[in-house]
């Protein structure tokens, strides 16, 4: 595996896309791994009673998938400094989310890279936002 070096990264560089299949297993598994037992993340009847068609992904899982996406690209020696997300359409079972990202700023002296990203499902943007990474030296 090769990871981006700060002197080879430029604003406008695209990250490879990552497709995530949104399954009940991922929604429930992510909720439990993040210790989030709100019923809308595991109980379809409860979710429907509150006006949703089905259970949906919790925010911690979305954050975790974004973090994974960024460090998959940057490598294990990079440091994640910031993840700021805006939440949009829910991730329901049977959907598929495609994560994409782009470098928006590079500061070679501090090895800091700023990125924008989005995760799109069939309803639109599930998540969009910005992140800061410090790349390995």
Partner 1 sequence: MSEQLPDLQSYLGGDFGPYRGWDRVNAAMIRHWCDALGDGNPIYTDGDAARAAGHGALVAPPTMMQAWTMRGYCGRFPPGSDTREAMQVLQVLEEAGYPGVVAVNCEQEYARYIEEGDDIYFRSTIESISEEKRTALGVGFFVTELSTFYNQRDQVVGTMRFRVFKYRPHQQGEDSQ
According to CB under 8 A, which residues from 97 to 136 bind partner 1? Answer: 136
Give helix then strand counts, H and E, for the chain.
3, 5
Q: Which one of 9-17, 68-76, 93-101, 116-124 is the stretch in contact with partner 1 (CB under 8 A)?
A: 68-76
Whether the CB-CB separation of 109 and 78 falls below 8 Å is answered with no
* Residue 37 touching partner 1 (CB under 8 A): yes
Whether the CB-CB separation of 43 and 93 falls below 8 Å is answered with no
Q: Which one of 9-17, 39-47, 80-88, 118-126 is the stretch in contact with partner 1 (CB under 8 A)?
A: 80-88
Residue 5 in tokens: 């070096």
Using CB under 8 A, pick the residue from 7, 14, 17, 87 that binds partner 1.
87
Size of the site for partner 1 (CB under 8 A): 33
* Residue 59 touching partner 1 (CB under 8 A): yes
- Between CA 57 and CA 51 the distance in angstroms is 15
- Between CA 13 and CA 10 the distance in angstroms is 6
Chain residues that interact with partner 1, rule: CB under 8 A? 20, 26, 29-30, 32-37, 59-61, 63-68, 71-72, 76-77, 79-87, 136
């Amino acid at each position: 595996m090769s990871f981006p070096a700060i002197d080879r990264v430029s604003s406008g560089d695209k990250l490879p896309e990552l497709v995530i299949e949104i399954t009940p297993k991922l929604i429930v598994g992510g909720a439990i791994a993040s210790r989030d037992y709100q019923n809308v993340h595991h109980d379809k009847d409860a979710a429907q009673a509150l006006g949703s068609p089905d259970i949906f992904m919790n925010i911690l899982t979305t954050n975790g998938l974004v973090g994974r996406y960024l460090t998959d690209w940057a490598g294990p020696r990079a440091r994640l400094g910031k993840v700021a997300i805006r939440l949009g359409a829910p991730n329901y079972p049977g959907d598929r989310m495609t994560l994409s990202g782009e470098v928006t700023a590079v500061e070679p002296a501090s090895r800091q890279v700023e990125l924008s990203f989005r995760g799109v499902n069939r309803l639109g943007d599930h998540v969009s936002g910005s992140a800061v990474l410090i790349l390995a030296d």
